[in-house]
Amino acid sequence: MRRLFLIFILIVTLVGGLVLPAFAQGQKNEQKEISVLIDGLPVAFDVQPVIENGRVLVPFRAIAEALKVEVSWESNVQTVSATNGETSVKLQIGNKTAYLNDNPIFLDVLPAIRDGRTLIPLRFFSEAYDCEVLWNGPTNSVRITSPPREMAVVGFYALGDSKTSSWTNLFGKPYPETARGNTDIVGELALGWYSLDSDGNLLTRSRTGWQRPEGWEKVLEAAQDYKLRTEMVIHVTDGDGTISTLLKDEAVMNRAVNAIVKEAVLYQGVNLDFEGLGYRDDGKQLQAVQDAFNKFVRLLAEPVKDIGLELTLTLHAPNSAYRGYDYKSLGETADRIIIMAYDYGTIPEPNSLVVQAVEQALQSVPKEKLVLGISVSSENTESIITKIGIAKRYQLNGIALWRLGLLTNEMWNALRITVEVKR
């Protein structure tokens, strides 16, 4: 099922072990540069892949490191070894016998050294590390889909009554009926039901459209039945200065904290989504905005953790126009940060900017605390695999989907072949 789905969405020719079809074996293809992508992301090579005897050979170290596989080289016996902790392989230059977990495997093309790099047949690589490998003849490219990786999968659940779609998209039945639906590929629900006003009052019906629906208790019951963790999301925007006003008064901040903590006992976590900070600020004013938000997060974190809950922050990406978020300080205080790496202005969201956002966040926050936010409405089935691939490549804690109700059946299936849900 997994291989059939990939063939369908990529519309390419599957070749076992990359034995190239006759039209691809000529001199023309041997001279044309071969591109290799893992989960839709290009792999950088200092020595290019080659075709020999109708087989694609690739630089082993570059591919292995892109998949977070450790590689070692024994120069005295010209042997390369690699392991991901579960699977180990060993190949020797000029030797057609390789070893997979110490079991001999016969190769139909020899590993070779080209310009100081070890090149190996891609067939052996794909079989050893459970990758799907597809050859696209017209583009002279290899597309590799890495095996599923365990990670957190958070689904933002906006509403849940009979007139909205989050319920049906998740449970596969009209409200209030339930079924397994897509609960197998979501581990947590971020329930967008709360906001705050400038006086620190907790709202369940806000001007921003975030509402707690009638029958919300049924959502919590269903989440418990299907072993889905829940967290209350407090969503506030600063377009009218609501957040800025709130953060200027410590008494107001404490009122907000007390109201949140009182309500939070119904959930397993708190998710603070304060949007729009620092848009027009710079210098000392920007520092003041960051300091004020840092203070509020610290005020909230202590009582939240005292009652045994986790605090998640949903933040604009560090390369966005909203610079009011001190990732380093916030990463030290919160249990987890969701990077909203979207709204860059093009659809699908540009991979280069998403990667940049992740790399900038990683400069201040450990990867174990970072979750990549994905705007489902900005992606398609193929591009969502690539966004997940970014989270895989950088070994982030997981992904967060904005939002349930927007995922197609094809997207759900894409999730199933790329992710194992951490619960």
Question: Could you give the CA distance from residue 216 to residue 361 in angstroms, rounded to a whole number?
Answer: 34
Question: Could you give the CA distance from residue 60 to residue 17 in angstroms, rounded to a whole number?
Answer: 15
Burial of residue 187 (number of CB atoms within 10 Å: 0-12, 13-18, 19+): buried
Give the residues across from 154 on adjacent strands. Answer: 188, 400
pTM: predicted TM-score of the whole model, two decimal places: 0.89
Q: Is the per-residue pLDDT at 28 higher than 90?
A: no
Q: Is the per-residue pLDDT at 418 higher than 70?
A: yes
Show the domains of the chain with their CATH numbers: 2-145 (3.30.457.10), 149-421 (3.20.20.80)
pLDDT grade for 9, boundaries at 50, 70 and 90: very low
R_g over Cα of the chain: 24
pLDDT grade for 136, boundaries at 50, 70 and 90: confident
DSSP state of 44: P
Q: What is the pLDDT of residues 232-275, one digit of tens each?
A: 999 999 989 999 999 999 999 999 999 999 999 999 999 999 99
The average pLDDT across 149-162 equals 83
Q: Is the per-residue pLDDT at 11 higher than 70?
A: no
Which pLDDT value is given to residue 55? 84
Give the residues across from 142 on adjacent strands. Answer: 36, 135
User: By three-state DSSP, how is residue 378 classified?
Assistant: helix
In this structure, the number of other CB atoms found within 10 A of the CB of residue 317 comes to 24
Question: Could you give the CA distance from residue 167 to residue 84 in angstroms, rounded to a whole number?
Answer: 38
pLDDT grade for 208, boundaries at 50, 70 and 90: confident
Q: Is the per-residue pLDDT at 1 higher than 60?
A: no
Which pLDDT value is given to residue 420? 95
Which pLDDT value is given to residue 303? 98
Selection from 70, 74, 75, 43 nearest residue 59 by Cα: 43
pLDDT grade for 339, boundaries at 50, 70 and 90: very high
Token output for 303: 């009582």
CB-based contacts of 307, cutoff 8 Å, min separation 6: 261, 264, 265
Q: What is the pLDDT of residues 165-207, one digit of tens each?
A: 799 999 999 888 999 999 999 999 999 999 999 999 999 987 7
CB-based contacts of 320, cutoff 8 Å, min separation 6: 340, 343, 357
**Among all chains, which residue has been given the structure tokens 């490219």?**
141
In this structure, what are the phi and psi dihedrals at residue 83, rounded to the nearest 5 degrees?
-155, 145
Angle at 312 between CA 307 and CA 317, to 5 degrees: 165
Q: Is the per-residue pLDDT at 97 higher than 60?
A: yes
Mean pLDDT lowest for which of 59-73, 289-303, 323-337? Answer: 59-73
Residues counted in the chain: 423
Which pLDDT value is given to residue 31? 55
Q: Is the per-residue pLDDT at 14 higher than 50?
A: no
Which pLDDT value is given to residue 164? 59
The average pLDDT across 24-53 equals 77
Mean pLDDT over the full length of the chain: 89
Which pLDDT value is given to residue 162? 52
pLDDT grade for 83, boundaries at 50, 70 and 90: very high
